[in-house]
Amino acid sequence: MLKISFLLKKPNTEQDSLEQIKITDPKIDETVNPSWGSRYVCEVYLSASEMKVHPVYGVNPIDTLCLASEFTRAYLQGLIKRGYTISEVESKKPWKLEKLSDNYLQEKLSVLKNSKELSPEDKKKLFQILKESFGETVIADQLNKAIEESD
């Protein structure tokens, strides 16, 4: 299990809160339709969203872990875009995460939209799953806007 600890300071406040992101080890998900082959899952727990489980799927353990890390990066970028400050726990030095443009999610969703490997029904299901997964996080509005623009 990977565990990332950091201090999170909301905009216009002086108080930091200790936050953690946990990513479980990749494992085969037995609930996935067997006709799709083996699908691995990592569960991402975001403490800012009260440790809600965000499953991340991939076709092999390495790919799944990379996708979970990309999910975490997008989440942290969403926090920064909203004005949060993320710092080291011990030194309290701010992390140097660049602010990404508004097009970051749009670019990632365009890759899904233009994929020749997915049927239109599968793409629609994926977008719905993304909306539900990010429904209560800080990047939900940004994601919904990007999905609408990619349609």
pLDDT > 60? residue 147: yes
Q: Is 124 helix (H, G, I), strand (E, B) or coil?
A: helix
**Confidence band, pLDDT 50/70/90 cuts, at residue 121:** confident
Q: What angle do CA 71, 76, 78 make, to 5 degrees?
A: 95
pLDDT > 60? residue 151: no
User: Which of 36, 114, 28 is CA-nearest to residue 64?
Assistant: 28
**What is the pLDDT, as a whole number, of residue 24?**
92
Q: How far is CA 10 from CA 19, 46, 48, 74, 139, in A?
A: 12, 16, 11, 18, 15
Once rounded to an integer, what is the mean pLDDT over residues 16-34? 85
**Confidence band, pLDDT 50/70/90 cuts, at residue 23:** very high
**What is the pLDDT, as a whole number, of residue 22?**
92
Contact assessment for residue 32 and residue 64, using Cβ atoms and an 8 Å cutoff: no
Once rounded to an integer, what is the mean pLDDT over residues 128-144? 68
| 9 CB burial (10 A radius; 0-12, 13-18, 19+) | middle
The tens digit of pLDDT for each residue in 60-108 reads 888 889 889 888 888 888 888 888 888 999 998 988 766 555 566 677 7
Show me where the domains of the chain are located.
1-97, 101-151
Strand partners, 21: 4, 46
**What is the pLDDT, as a whole number, of residue 150?**
55
pLDDT > 70? residue 40: yes
What mean pLDDT value characterizes the chain?
A: 79
| 46 CB burial (10 A radius; 0-12, 13-18, 19+) | buried
